[in-house]
Structure 1
Amino acid sequence: MADSPAQNVASGEPRAGGPRVLELRVHGIKNTAPHDLIGCDLEQIEPVGDRDSLSGFWTQKDPPADSPTRVEAYSWGNLARTSPSSSFLKGVGRVFGQAFWFLVVPFALANAAYWARRLPAPGSGSRTLAAGAGAGTVRLFALLLSLVFTTTFCALAFGLFAVECFPATGIGQPTAMCKQLPEALDFMTGWSRGQRLALSALVPMAAILAVFVTARLATVRNLAPARVRWNEETGTTEGASQASRGGPFLASPGLWTRPHVSTVTGRAHIAACLALICILLLSDSIGSFWPRNCQTALRMLSGDCIEQLGTAMGQDVLAAPLLGLAIVLLLASMVTVAFFYPEVRAPWEDEVGNKWSNVLWIGGVGLVLATAGQLILVPTPDVVPSLPFAGTWVASLLLLTALVVLGVSGLFMRSGPAFRFATAGGSVSSAVLIVWAAGMVDDWVLAIPAIITVGFIIYYFGLQAGDKAKLEGWHGRGPGIFMFAAILTSHFLSSALVLGTRKFLQWPMDEELPARPEELWRGAGGSKVDLDELLEVPAIYGVTGGLLLFGIALALVGFVPACAWLILKRGLLPMQPPTQTGPGTRPVQPPSYFSDIDVDPLLPDEGPGPERRNLTYRRRRLSALTQRGEAAFGLLTVLIWLAAVLAIAACAFWNGAGATGYRALLLGPLRAIQGDFAGWGIVLAATLILAFMVLNAATSKEERPLAILWDVMCFLPNAAHPFGAPSYSNRVVPELARRIYDWLQAPAPAQAQANAGPNHTVLVSAHSLGAVVAVAAIFHLKACQPELDFKRIRLLTYGVQLRPYFGRFFPELFGPDVLGNCPTRGPGLISIDPWKKAREKETALPGSASLTLLDLLRDGQATSPVWRNIWRRTDYLGFPAYSHCERGNDLDVYAVETEPQRSQFAVATHGNYTATTTYAKVRGEMLADWPG
């Protein structure tokens, strides 16, 4: 490859006579192509230095000779967008790979909850990066999500397949089977229940292995190459310890290059999942010896049934000790995950942890093998009709209950003592519901969880929210918000998977159609059988799915009158600017999303004209509408919370459905929710998801589904769940930081040797999420090279979410104390301008960290444009980076709202900032009068 006259492309180093300023352009969530970032044709770019298909730097082959800067584009989108499984899964297999990315969305949300906690200042205690309060809670929550994942596949393999699809037809006779199953499985009609369950255990184990392998492959791909690392992994970087103590969290050495969830955590998750599989299988084995009248919650805790349970355990002598070992293994895995690591990241070498985790997962594998052998060798008694597989019914209910308890505690995790009270209150409520479901107390006891829930909701809506909490995302309830989002997605996906499979197995016969047993059952070889049974699944899937869709239906019904009220009473429509009254120019209005239209300097002096002004005004309104998402989702979380509590109560009530009185009156609505809403609505949603996955796999081939969602969720280091999609920032942040360092440390050109001070400088130009990456890279550079002259780095951002989103959702990482900007409140839900109240309450507060981003870049220089941010109101994802107010704000610059390089007028939104006249003007100002 030939080098251009102004730059050394092969190595990326400056050449004598070439530009001394490097302009690094970093794309955002839109994954802009390198040639579009640079502003040239595809054939005019070439790679810089070492690169691969996932990320790399690009530059123009023949830049203009008089160019004051060397422009490079950093492309990292493939790290976030592509699936590592696509290299070995082709065709149909790729669809399954896409499905697993959907299934691990809750894991990524749990990771976001981990970083939304209140993080202690680095070096403030005995550890460099202490995990802080709530770390164990979120990690335990993540483990429960893994158990929900396992229970879902157990419900498919054990409940639907091994038991429900092979009902007994008579003592000593071959069992029937679902007609939808292939004839290749006819041999299983002669197997015992235990033998089928033992074989079916391969399904949840394969699902766990698939997720583990997928996450592991992505982890390897997302590790930073050796060429971009310093010595921070071993802690030997000079000045590293001083850089971390008292400084921002992002300036901690090794934050992006050291593991955050280790193999110890991953093995503990695997051990817990294997232990749960054994518990479910062994419980069923013991339960087969239990009398049928003890198989309901109202009877199982009675004295007679407890006595009979002892007799059943005596008849199955191997199951009881194996069950005890499985419970111990599950508890040991939970303790390991929750309390093993007191820091946010794991050590590089952990011999004790590796040995302990090996004991856990090897013990899990041994227990599975022993359980399978016990099921195969010890035949269970034939019972007609067959007993349901009750383990998944109980496990799914208990797991949802535990998740809700931890989610409620997460809502108050940043509130100090309220965190402990919320955990205690949620635990008491759950215990009361379980005891009530078992028939041990009367219905009056339900007043206890009702009162506690109402108290939580009142507390949630701000009785304790102080001024500081109002400056944080969802008033400081971010961890719980993310956790309830994980609960919603995990149970929706589980319900869709389980109910969709049942719908397939029961098709075309269903509860709504006349009973036609011949359409559902058959014997081996296609022989006819006389059965009138239907397939049953754990009630939690139908109830949660039904309540979800029931809530969506209610929301849609209420949406129309709510919009009408907003339109008529709040003035959100008609979407026209205020009419001008009287002669003269339009009056100047206070700055808001709906003030006068900014004039493009390229347009005639008389302004943009009424038609263009109206189009711009409408686009501002649409952008303002999308920016109400935080407030809307906070309200949605309360609905998710209530729906989960109602689902728990409904499933507990279902066990006592035979009672008389008011309970009988509730059976009809409950059956409608569990059957009608869940039966068809969830299946429809699952069908749409499957169609989306097939379409995505057929067109983009390698991109993950909902790619933009992955870009945002997977930025933070994966510290809570080992099976979530790993953070691409583990590679992007060190790679970008190293490119900046290499340019700054390159030998000075010969003609500049006489200059006093530094010669090479870097202007980091970042769009949208790329600005978050750039900020992290600058702080990472400070952690690794604390003596570097940071006056030689300047930052130009545009279309960013640093202040209202990242800074409020993750205050200790990107808050005003770290960036040095003004704090802001969240958007309003029903006000015309969603940021009106935030702007009115806006005040500049000094940063509490010893080093802010502005301080770092200024490095003692009070007056210099070290950071500029461009934004526009028509950008639904672009916001001011310092303040909404103009007074004292020399950082934010307002961009023209006309789409550049278009033959006809178009309103600009989130893209094409670099092609605007505003960008050229601000860029020129930042490059001029650069010290050194």
Structure 2
Amino acid sequence: MGSEGPQRYRDGPGRHDDVVELRVHGVSGAGPERVLDQAHVRQVAGDRSGGFHRRAPEADDTDPNGVTLEAYRWGDLPSGTMARTLSLVFLLPFMLSNLAVWMRPTGRWSGPGVTVLCRLLALDLTLLYMLSAAGVALDLLGWRCLGMARCPAARGGLAGLDGWSIGQRLAVLALLPIAAVGFLRLLGARRRRPAGNSLWAVEPLVGRLRATHVAAAFAMVDLVLLVARSAGGRTTATSILLALTGAVLLACVALLGVPGLVDGAATARLAGRVAGGLRLVAYGLSVAAFATVALDPRGWPSSAGLPGYGRIIGSVSIVQMTLLVALGALVLCDPGRRVRRGTPRYGLGAPVIAAIAVGLAGAFSATLVYWSGTLLGGAAGRPLAYNWTILAFFLHVVAGVVVCGAMTVVSRRSRLRAAVAITDRDFPTAPPEATERRHRVTKMIARARFTERLGLLAVTYAALAVIGLSTSLMGQFQLEPDQLGRQLLGLPAGFVGVGLAVGSYLVAALLLALLLGGLFAYRTPWFRRYVGVLWDLGTFWPRAAHPFAPASYADRAVPELADRITQLTQRHAGVVLCGHSHGSALLALAVLRLPPVVRQRVALLTYGSPLDRLYARLFPAYLSEEVLRQVGERVGWRWLNLWRDTDPVGGWIFAAHRPGDPPPDATEPAARVDRRLRDPRDLTAQPGECRPPPLRGHHPGESDPEFRAAVRELACRLRDQGGA
């Protein structure tokens, strides 16, 4: 198998009548020893990052029921090395902006519109990143510090530039933002070995997006330099270069803003040539702009900050706000927002995730400039727009925490009422000594049902994000936060300044927490199961909006699974695919890739699966009910889904089948997929046991009797049809 790489071990030839139970763990899952419930395992295919494992020694592969256990471990694919894990912290806003494009609704016109807006927002994030790097290098160091005697912290390391002219200093220091582009390119580089038949055919698109973003980033640095130089009067050279720089930026926007241009099959080659040409032109313009600024002998105007820099930041912030408002309006106006069971699914994942990405990018950029100015002695000052960004982030976090807490309290009564009804049906005759445990089960079900409130929470967060980002208008009008607070709200002098300081510390603490989280996630498996969820979900989807986002691990995992399933069906009676949590999504996509002759020998068992409860709502254009029905049809409806009311993540796929619900339609195969598991199985200990059955929640539970019974049932179905 070309996608597996070197194999440490080879699995045996297998028996013609046995069935393989292939287990795939969820996000940040445990090692193969825990998945297989064996102290010793051996790797039979794959490599260190992702491989297939069986029991050791080989003689113990098959259990008495004729089922051979095998596990696929993919947990290292999203991160890999510690350096790679830590780099994801810096790529987090880009990763989220890329995730938003996959959350587009299914409308004929709203879907392409959301894709365009998400790609323009992703480009805006790259420009914001470049502006923060240019703010430190050009505004703080080159203009405010080296031009004054009040920044001793910078003069020691850059003393060699003291005798240079302002233009020469700026031209040299402009190489720092250029290096920042190379740093992004290095972090976002593909470091995973893809499968031979990759799942997502997006690498040519990534190349076109990368060339476009690099061209725009170089043009933005040129624009900052040329606008500053033009403040003292334009020359013919600066006018021509400004016009060409603006043309490059507009061409980049047009390339991403015209639907189907950068990713259409008919225009792909043309778009690739245009993007590559824009990148070369941007390289040449940078050389010309640096030389023009460095060699211009004219004097520079007196100004507290780099001329024009604050206006450029404000313009980029206003563009972000406008794109976010347009994105939210487009999703809310989608005519296909209501689907089956009367559930409102507005596809709000796209604007919410985009708002989080923009908020984090703005906060990170503003904090970088804020703390750089502080470390340079404080006398250097900071652009006004960044003060508003930090203050908006602080207010947004406070408001978000308050709203989330309020929703938790307000919905508590209804969630408890629904949970009590469930426990009453499950345990109608609970003994008095089980009262406390029954209350604990009720509370766990109530907490799990908070997932149903995420839609309203998403609407609230999106509204708060737009309100918070609207403060960028204040910076554009050169209004001071502290002054505005005194005049409009009557706040005491310095009160808003405290908010700015707290906000900067909050963002710094967030960055530190993410870095430490990445470090502990790599070194500590139990910690990774919590913080690694974000990386595993964010890097599942390929780079279709931001080229500097981490590469998709599904590009290798899904084809690798499909190839392995094909091999196993050639040597065994069939394969029961067992996917827990996010592993069920990997298996569903793998099933869609299997050839017809292989699908006839495959059955599917999902448990704790978020396919309908979360993914169909978050990604309606790619994991909708229609797609899930295709999965069922591909496996001949040999599909069982186990779910629990105590699970906050997983749920039913097609029907809940709670006690008291109408019986499933015998003529509808999808109605027979879901099986609800009572959790716990009982409130009291069974005869011969010391403790009552545990509460499972989202725990896999491969050794539970219900799970083993489902595997046996699916294995019997495969044997009964003889693999035909």
Is the shorter-chain TM-score for this pair beyond 0.5, marking a shared fold? Answer: yes
The answer to whether residue 520 in structure 2 is matched with residue 649 in structure 1 is no
> Of the candidates 617, 633, 636, which is equivalent to residue 855 of structure 1?
633
Task: Quote the residue 1:775 is aligned against.
Answer: 588
Q: How many residues align?
A: 692
In 1, the alpha carbon distance for the partners of 2:569 and 2:604 equals 15
Question: In 2, are the aligned partners of 1:896 and 1:918 still within 8 Å (CA)?
Answer: no
In 2, the alpha carbon distance for the partners of 1:681 and 1:702 equals 30
In 1, the alpha carbon distance for the partners of 2:501 and 2:224 equals 25
TM-score by length of 1: 0.68
In 1, the alpha carbon distance for the partners of 2:462 and 2:492 equals 23
Task: Quote the residue 1:683 is aligned against.
Answer: 505
Evaluate the alpha carbon distance shift between residue 161 and residue 627 of structure 1 in structure 2; reply closer, same or farther with a 3 A threshold.
farther
Question: In 1, are the aligned partners of 2:36 and 2:71 still within 8 Å (CA)?
Answer: yes
Deviation digits for residues 637-673 of structure 1 (CA, Å, limit 9, x no counterpart): 111111212x1332233259999xx998249759867
In 2, the alpha carbon distance for the partners of 1:65 and 1:477 equals 47
Evaluate the alpha carbon distance shift between residue 691 and residue 154 of structure 1 in structure 2; reply closer, same or farther with a 3 A threshold.
same
SS at match of 2:679: coil
Which amino acid counterpart does residue 760 of structure 1 have in structure 2? Answer: A
Evaluate the alpha carbon distance shift between residue 83 and residue 631 of structure 1 in structure 2; reply closer, same or farther with a 3 A threshold.
farther
Which amino acid counterpart does residue 18 of structure 2 have in structure 1? Answer: R
Which amino acid counterpart does residue 480 of structure 1 have in structure 2? Answer: P
Q: CA deviation at 1:595?
A: 4.3
Residue correspondence of structure 1 range 399-418 to structure 2 within 5 A: 399-414=316-331, 418=333
The answer to whether residue 706 in structure 2 is matched with residue 924 in structure 1 is no
Deviation digits for residues 363-418 of structure 1 (CA, Å, limit 9, x no counterpart): 2122212222222221452555x441143312222122212222222224356xx5
In 1, the alpha carbon distance for the partners of 2:240 and 2:492 equals 39
Q: CA deviation at 1:179?
A: 2.6
SS at match of 1:535: coil
Question: In 2, are the aligned partners of 1:542 and 1:679 still within 8 Å (CA)?
Answer: no
Evaluate the alpha carbon distance shift between residue 472 and residue 480 of structure 1 in structure 2; reply closer, same or farther with a 3 A threshold.
farther
In 2, the alpha carbon distance for the partners of 1:368 and 1:658 equals 38
Q: CA deviation at 1:188?
A: 2.5
In 2, the alpha carbon distance for the partners of 1:719 and 1:490 equals 19
The answer to whether residue 245 in structure 2 is matched with residue 326 in structure 1 is yes
Task: Quote the residue 1:59 is aligned against.
Answer: 54
Task: Quote the residue 1:665 is aligned against.
Answer: 487
- Aligned-residue identity in percent: 23
Task: Quote the residue 1:201 is aligned against.
Answer: 174
Which amino acid counterpart does residue 254 of structure 2 have in structure 1? Answer: V
Evaluate the alpha carbon distance shift between residue 565 and residue 259 of structure 1 in structure 2; reply closer, same or farther with a 3 A threshold.
closer
Q: Report the structure, 1 or 2, having the larger helix content.
A: 2
Task: Quote the residue 1:144 is aligned against.
Answer: 124
The answer to whether residue 722 in structure 2 is matched with residue 913 in structure 1 is no
In 2, the alpha carbon distance for the partners of 1:878 and 1:351 equals 42
Structure 2: any 5+ residue segments left out of the alignment? Answer: 1-6, 665-670
> Of the candidates 262, 273, 289, which is equivalent to residue 217 of structure 2?
273
Task: Quote the residue 2:607 is aligned against.
Answer: 798
Question: In 1, are the aligned partners of 2:82 and 2:522 still within 8 Å (CA)?
Answer: no
The answer to whether residue 643 in structure 2 is matched with residue 871 in structure 1 is yes
SS at match of 2:141: helix
Task: Quote the residue 2:674 is aligned against.
Answer: 892
In 2, the alpha carbon distance for the partners of 1:693 and 1:734 equals 32
Task: Quote the residue 2:228 is aligned against.
Answer: 284
Question: In 2, are the aligned partners of 1:502 and 1:535 still within 8 Å (CA)?
Answer: yes
Q: CA deviation at 1:48?
A: 1.2
Which amino acid counterpart does residue 313 of structure 1 have in structure 2? Answer: R
Deviation digits for residues 892-916 of structure 1 (CA, Å, limit 9, x no counterpart): 2223534999975542222232121
Deviation digits for residues 703-747 of structure 1 (CA, Å, limit 9, x no counterpart): 99942112112222221111111111111111111111122234x
Question: In 2, are the aligned partners of 1:260 and 1:346 still within 8 Å (CA)?
Answer: no
In 1, the alpha carbon distance for the partners of 2:101 and 2:622 equals 12
SS at match of 1:78: coil
Which amino acid counterpart does residue 585 of structure 2 have in structure 1? Answer: V
Question: In 1, are the aligned partners of 2:679 and 2:695 still within 8 Å (CA)?
Answer: yes
Task: Quote the residue 1:370 is aligned against.
Answer: 288
Question: In 1, are the aligned partners of 2:349 and 2:458 still within 8 Å (CA)?
Answer: no
Which amino acid counterpart does residue 675 of structure 2 have in structure 1? Answer: V
TM-score by length of 2: 0.86
SS at match of 1:806: helix
> Of the candidates 157, 162, 187, which is equivalent to residue 137 of structure 2?
157
In 2, the alpha carbon distance for the partners of 1:668 and 1:195 equals 46
Residue correspondence of structure 1 range 485-500 to structure 2 within 5 A: 485-500=356-371
Question: In 2, are the aligned partners of 1:27 and 1:766 still within 8 Å (CA)?
Answer: yes
Q: CA deviation at 1:813?
A: 1.4
Q: CA deviation at 1:28?
A: 0.6
Residue correspondence of structure 1 range 125-274 to structure 2 within 5 A: 132-168=112-148, 176-181=149-154, 183-218=156-191, 221-224=192-195, 226=196, 229=197, 256-259=200-203, 261-274=205-218
Question: In 2, are the aligned partners of 1:473 and 1:809 still within 8 Å (CA)?
Answer: no
In 2, the alpha carbon distance for the partners of 1:806 and 1:670 equals 48
Q: CA deviation at 1:814?
A: 1.2
Moved more, 262-271 or 694-703: 694-703
Structure 1: any 5+ residue segments left out of the alignment? Answer: 1-7, 87-96, 169-175, 230-253, 290-311, 420-463, 507-519, 521-533, 579-588, 747-758, 821-851, 859-864
Residue correspondence of structure 1 range 54-93 to structure 2 within 5 A: 54-62=49-57, 63=60, 64=62, 66-83=64-81, 85-86=83-84
> Of the candidates 537, 547, 560, which is equivalent to residue 722 of structure 1?
547
Deviation digits for residues 553-580 of structure 1 (CA, Å, limit 9, x no counterpart): 345567777666556xx3667x9986xx
Task: Quote the residue 1:393 is aligned against.
Answer: 310
Question: In 2, are the aligned partners of 1:47 and 1:59 still within 8 Å (CA)?
Answer: yes
Question: In 2, are the aligned partners of 1:21 and 1:70 still within 8 Å (CA)?
Answer: yes
The answer to whether residue 638 in structure 2 is matched with residue 638 in structure 1 is no
Q: CA deviation at 1:164?
A: 1.9
Question: In 1, are the aligned partners of 2:448 and 2:648 still within 8 Å (CA)?
Answer: yes
Task: Quote the residue 2:13 is aligned against.
Answer: 14
Larger Rg computed on CA atoms: 1
The answer to whether residue 618 in structure 2 is matched with residue 809 in structure 1 is yes
Task: Quote the residue 2:383 is aligned against.
Answer: 538
Which amino acid counterpart does residue 313 of structure 2 have in structure 1? Answer: S
In 2, the alpha carbon distance for the partners of 1:119 and 1:465 equals 7
> Of the candidates 544, 547, 553, which is equivalent to residue 398 of structure 2?
553
Question: In 2, are the aligned partners of 1:624 and 1:876 still within 8 Å (CA)?
Answer: yes
RMSD, aligned CA: 3.7
Question: In 1, are the aligned partners of 2:314 and 2:385 still within 8 Å (CA)?
Answer: yes
Question: In 1, are the aligned partners of 2:25 and 2:580 still within 8 Å (CA)?
Answer: yes
Task: Quote the residue 2:93 is aligned against.
Answer: 106
In 2, the alpha carbon distance for the partners of 1:633 and 1:689 equals 24
Evaluate the alpha carbon distance shift between residue 108 and residue 206 of structure 1 in structure 2; reply closer, same or farther with a 3 A threshold.
same
Residue correspondence of structure 1 range 39-54 to structure 2 within 5 A: 39-41=37-39, 44-49=40-45, 51-54=46-49
Evaluate the alpha carbon distance shift between residue 870 and residue 663 of structure 1 in structure 2; reply closer, same or farther with a 3 A threshold.
closer
Moved more, 894-903 or 484-493: 894-903
SS at match of 2:234: helix
Q: CA deviation at 1:151?
A: 1.2
> Of the candidates 515, 530, 533, which is equivalent to residue 708 of structure 1?
533
